[in-house]
């Protein structure tokens, strides 16, 4: 089976790897020359995503590149501890959430996919795709054309393929939040803890990374989408310091900044009704930008379920229908959680106080039970995890 994957981010690279594991001939086309660059700071993987990486044979490499984060603490704007819970896992799970730079995660997956025999072509932007009864042709901005039996669209929240599949598909809209993230030095932060402060102007996240680095992200609530054009790093830092000046810990972390990542404007999309045709399928953010700290983990799950469905057959259209049926209920449930999370980050003073009271009571009693469906999930793919990569075979 010849498969084209559009997009070489987390979803595309994980899909390339999973599809090589079922013996498909895979070519990934990525629009940017270096998608693993400084593209939006750090991501966290929860146990559901980590177990997916284990199936793909990439867990150890991702853990090596990231930091182990067993706990999550929630703080009020005034610095009161609201909750201390296991981070991205059930309490009894010995597998700990990992946080790493998004670029590092993409690089690890892309390297594994190439080693497994996938071809990764960078600097090729898909412009459109034409489907026939027996195959499809993808066209690129450069004039390049490629044919295949299946096209997997992992081209992110601004997916070109989504519009080609269904011109009436919902479009991304500003989510009322933007993220300014950076790296600080010289601040004492307890290792292994993901700190989230529900500050007056939006949530503030910080955690200790390696070599004395502290990674932080301010998820700033603003009903008006900010204009990034011509805003310098110094200006972003000044604005962020000003917005968090009344919160002691966040303002100290921001003041110690040594590197700032590009600002990220956060978008949300209404549920997308059409995820596939007979030979085209959407995965990752192209199908469902879920947020809630789960986008990367869910993209990895998608890749595994899709590969498992294609392996089971009996035909490509049947496999795509199975993938849709298998993934949709979980995604719909998660979209509700993501909306709640965004609401919590944008809360005004009254709602913040109410939220703090609920968190203090709810978290110790119900958090474990309420998150079991998310973290305990393991896709039943039937994939053969013992298939070796090409480089492993070459060394024998
Ligand atoms: C501020 C912020 C914080 C986040 N934190 C977390 C977190 O802690 N945990 C988590 O799990 N998730 C997090 N996420 C979400 C996570 O980053 C995404 O859900 C995940 O990266 C989705 O991967 P993707 O491969 O589907 O899309 P993307 O990462 O967007 O990749 C799409 C790729 O397709 C390429 N592309 C696009 N169009 C074309 C085209 N026409 N032709 C060829 N290539 C194309 C793009 O260049 C890109 O490389 C966060 C997101 C944001 C914005």
Question: What is the pLDDT at residue 95?
Answer: 93
CA of 351 to the centre of ligand 1 (A): 31
**Pairing label, strands 97-101, 42-45:** antiparallel
Distance set, CA 35 to CA 249, 313, 317, 364 (Å): 33, 32, 30, 40
Residues of the chain with CATH 3.30.9.100: 173-267
Please report the pLDDT score of residue 386 as a whole number: 45
Could you give the angle at which helices 316-346 and 295-312 cross, rounded to 10 degrees?
170
The residue contributing the CA closest to ligand 1 atom 53 is 266
Q: Which residues have CB under 6 Å of ligand 1?
A: 6-12, 29-32, 35, 40, 43-44, 102, 125-126, 154-156, 160, 179, 264, 266, 284-286, 293-297, 299
Q: What is the pLDDT of residues 300-329, one digit of tens each?
A: 999 999 999 999 989 999 999 999 999 999
Residue linked to tokens 């933007």? 178
Residue of 159, 295, 375 to test ligand 1 pocket, by largest number of atoms within 8 Å of CB: 295
Residue 395: beta bridge partners? none
Contact 196, 243 (CB under 8 A): no
How many residues are there in the chain? Answer: 396
Decide: 80 and 130 in contact? Cβ < 8 Å.
no
The preferred substitution site among 42, 43, 129, 302 for testing ligand 1, maximizing ligand atoms within 8 Å of CB, is 43
Locate 266 and state its tokens.
Answer: 């956060």
CA 240 to chain centre: 24
Q: Rg of the chain's alpha carbons, rounded to an integer?
A: 21
- Which pLDDT does position 6 carry in this prediction? 98
Pairwise CA distance, residues 347 & 74, whole Å:
15
What would the two tokens of residue 161 be? 């393929």
Nearest residue by C-alpha to atom 27 in ligand 1? 156
* 173-185/213-221 β-pairing: antiparallel
* This model's pTM is above 0.85: yes
Q: Which of 95, 13, 20 is nearest to 50 (CA)?
A: 95
Between the CA of residue 107 and those of 10, 13, 49, 393, what are the distances in Å? Answer: 9, 9, 16, 21
pLDDT at 349: 75
| pLDDT tens track, the chain, 396 positions | 999 999 999 999 999 999 999 999 999 999 998 755 556 689 999 999 999 999 999 999 999 999 999 999 999 999 999 999 999 998 889 999 999 999 999 999 999 999 999 999 999 999 999 998 889 999 999 999 999 999 999 999 999 999 999 999 999 999 999 999 999 999 999 999 999 999 999 999 999 999 999 999 999 999 999 988 889 999 999 999 999 999 999 999 999 999 999 899 999 999 999 999 999 999 999 999 987 689 999 999 999 999 999 999 899 999 999 999 999 999 998 887 766 666 666 667 777 777 777 777 777 777 788 888 889 888 777 665 444 333 333 332
Output the pLDDT for position 359.
77
Protein residue closest via CA to atom 39 of ligand 1: 155
Per-residue model confidence (pLDDT) at position 35: 54
> Which overall architecture, per CATH, does domain 2-69+98-171+271-346 show?
3-Layer(bba) Sandwich (3.50)
Residue 148's H or E segment, with its range, is strand 145-148
Give dist(CA 124, CA 100) in Å, integer.
27
Comma-separated ranges of CATH 3.50.50.60 domains in the chain: 2-69+98-171+271-346
| Nearest-atom index, ligand 1, CA of 160 | 41
- Given the structure tokens 């600080």, which residue do they identify? 184
- Cβ-in-10-Å burial (0-12, 13-18, 19+) of 217 comes to buried
Q: What is the pLDDT of residue 395?
A: 31
pLDDT computed for residue 391 by the predictor: 36
**What is the pairing mode between strands 193-199 and 145-148?**
unpaired
CA distance 228 to 260: 14
CA 375 to ligand 1 center in whole angstroms: 21
> What is the dotted CATH code of the domain comprising 173-267?
3.30.9.100
Look at the block and give the residue holding tokens 């867990």: 59
Cα–Cα separations (whole angstroms), residue 37 to 40, 47, 53, 352: 9, 25, 21, 36
- Sequence-distant (≥ 6) Cβ neighbours of residue 117 within 8 angstroms: 20, 26, 389, 390
């Amino acid at each position: 089976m010849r498969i084209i994957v559009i997009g070489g981010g987390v979803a595309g690279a994980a899909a390339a790897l999973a599809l090589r594991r079922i013996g498909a001939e895979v070519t990934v086309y990525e629009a940017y020359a270096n998608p693993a660059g400084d593209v939006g700071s750090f991501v966290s993987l929860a146990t559901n995503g980590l177990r997916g990486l284990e199936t793909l044979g990439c867990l150890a490499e991702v853990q090596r590149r990231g930091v182990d984060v067993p706990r999550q603490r929630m703080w009020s704007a005034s610095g009161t501890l609201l909750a201390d819970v296991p981070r991205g896992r059930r309490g009894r799970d010995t597998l700990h959430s990992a946080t790493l730079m998004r670029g590092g995660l993409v690089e690890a997956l892309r390297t594994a996919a190439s080693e497994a025999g996938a071809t990764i072509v960078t600097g090729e932007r898909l412009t459109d795709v034409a489907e026939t009864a027996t195959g499809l042709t993808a066209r690129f901005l450069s004039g390049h054309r490629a044919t295949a039996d299946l096209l997997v669209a992992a081209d992110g929240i601004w997916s070109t393929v989504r519009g080609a599949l269904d011109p009436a598909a919902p479009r991304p809209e500003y989510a009322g939040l933007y993220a300014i993230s950076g790296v600080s030095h010289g601040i004492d932060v307890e290792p292994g803890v993901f700190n989230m402060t529900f500050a007056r102007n939006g949530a503030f996240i910080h955690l200790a990374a390696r070599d004395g680095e502290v990674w932080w992200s301010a998820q700033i609530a603003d009903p008006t989408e900010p204009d990034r054009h011509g805003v310098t790093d110094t200006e972003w830092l000044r604005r962020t310091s000003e917005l968090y000046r009344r919160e002691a810990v966040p303002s100290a972390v921001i003041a110690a900044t040594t590197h700032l990542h590009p600002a990220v404007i956060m978008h949300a999309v209404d549920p997308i009704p059409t995820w596939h045709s007979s030979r085209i399928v959407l995965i990752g953010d192209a199908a469902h930008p879920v947020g809630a700290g789960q986008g990367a983990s869910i993209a990895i799950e998608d890749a595994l379920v899709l590969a498992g469905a294609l392996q089971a057959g009996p035909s490509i259209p049947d496999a795509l229908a199975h993938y849709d049926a298998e993934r949709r209920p979980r995604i719909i449930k998660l979209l509700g959680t993501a909306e709640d999370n965004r609401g919590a980050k944008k809360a005004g003073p009254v709602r913040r106080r109410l939220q703090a009271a609920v968190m203090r009571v709810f978290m110790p009693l119900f958090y474990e039970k309420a998150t079991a469906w998310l973290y305990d999930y393991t896709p039943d793919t039937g994939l053969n995890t013992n298939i070796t990569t090409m480089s492993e075979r070459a060394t024998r």
